[in-house]
Structure 1
């Protein structure tokens, strides 16, 4: 069974390379054809494929393929080699203020775990060099095979960003029916090209602890 999975993943990797060689130059995250290969680690790759219907209300759907290998080159089966995804979003508002709404879903056919979410975002220009953004999201995770869903998770985040230095101050919190129910994180993020460095205090009110993150994404 493991050999069969590894063979399929190897085939997916070969297909990824072939598609990367012959895909049209107009393909990407923003065109009608979604084609976004991403290197997420030294030996980890993802290929996001799909179709997008542009317009005031934008819809997109497709599949995401994952490939992981050991330093020796041996294929390692990832937890979710194939993931189905779909989004519906809408943007509007005056030039200085942008409002958007988004509905998204993801599904792992191997485990039967699916995620559905909806959210709204409001972005506005505070000064010529500072932007502010507030996002509110609700998400729920279900297992189709076990016919079970978890409790909905409501979150809110606020971000203040400098367009000149690419520095952001971020505050994440949880929401409940009564309003704000918990402060999850207060942090600072700094971008250097494809590199994002973050420093934050997690659960600052009850059990504060520091968290340092380093993320690197490469797209071609």
Structure 2
């Protein structure tokens, strides 16, 4: 009974934090050393991401992420990752028409003992006055501390042609693992309308082609 009451109090605290933050504070906090980013992830689910950041040649940040959810009747739903530890380091370089960026990220779920490691690089440049190009390369690895094993690393590479005027882009993606190169894994088109993004793609076009449609909306508050 006592644990149930504490869980409900914790959920209520996260709800108050997520709903009580003003837009002015949220926008101002982007440049502060303290990271305080609450968000609503479902009808009755909330997440609080907190930590610290340091700017320099490499921009680094680290902290914890707390999640809590409940059913419509108010019963607490145990999340798969109630607390996650995370860290990230990124760097940008280049001026004018050519820009480069690098990023390394880690996160750890103490409940399940699983950790994720990711690293990636990106390069963008101006092809013509009306066309930009981007190339992204990344590697992802997942390990389990309790089972003392790691999955095979997955390499992903994507190339994108983007029209800044119409905000339309064409993307080609490929993947590779220890079993070899899988070839082209996805070909798609994306269109942005302000904060709304629409996408249509063909996944695994060489072996088992299937259609994929995406729609997303982002909002900063």
How would you bin the TM-score normalised by the shorter chain?
0.7 to 0.9
- Structure number with greater Rg is 2
Q: Which has the higher contact order (CA 8 A, sep 6+)?
A: 1
Contact 2:14 2:47 in 1 (8 A): no
Partner of 1:54: 55
Counterparts in 2 of 1:97-108, with a 5 A limit? 97-108=98-109
Instruction: For residue 14 of structure 1, give the secondary structure of its aligned residue in structure 2.
Output: helix
Matched, 1:156 2:135: no
Partner of 1:138: 139
Deviation at 1:178, TM superposition (A): 10
> In the aligned structure 2, how far is the partner of 1:192 from the partner of 1:71?
34
> In the aligned structure 1, how far is the partner of 2:94 from the partner of 2:213?
36
CA separation of 1:130/1:139 partners in 2, compared to 1, >3 Å: closer, same or farther?
same
Instruction: For residue 77 of structure 2, give the secondary structure of its aligned residue in structure 1.
Output: coil
CA separation of 1:46/1:73 partners in 2, compared to 1, >3 Å: closer, same or farther?
same
Contact 1:37 1:219 in 2 (8 A): no
Gaps of 5+ in 1: none
Give the TM-score of the pair, scaled to structure 2.
0.83
Counterparts in 2 of 1:88-127, with a 5 A limit? 88-127=89-128
CA separation of 1:45/1:12 partners in 2, compared to 1, >3 Å: closer, same or farther?
closer
Contact 1:174 1:180 in 2 (8 A): yes
Contact 2:92 2:102 in 1 (8 A): yes
> In the aligned structure 1, how far is the partner of 2:193 from the partner of 2:146?
43
Counterparts in 2 of 1:59-98, with a 5 A limit? 59-70=60-71, 74-98=75-99
CA deviations 1:167-194 (Å, max 9, x no partner) are 2211111135798432111111222333
Deviation at 1:124, TM superposition (A): 1.1
> In the aligned structure 2, how far is the partner of 1:165 from the partner of 1:44?
36
CA deviations 1:28-81 (Å, max 9, x no partner) are 2x5433233334444444332221111121111112233434455554333223
> In the aligned structure 2, how far is the partner of 1:12 from the partner of 1:167?
38
CA separation of 1:65/1:132 partners in 2, compared to 1, >3 Å: closer, same or farther?
farther
Q: CA RMSD in A?
A: 2.8
Instruction: For residue 18 of structure 2, give the secondary structure of its aligned residue in structure 1.
Output: helix
User: In the comparison of the two structures, how many residue pairs are matched?
Assistant: 218
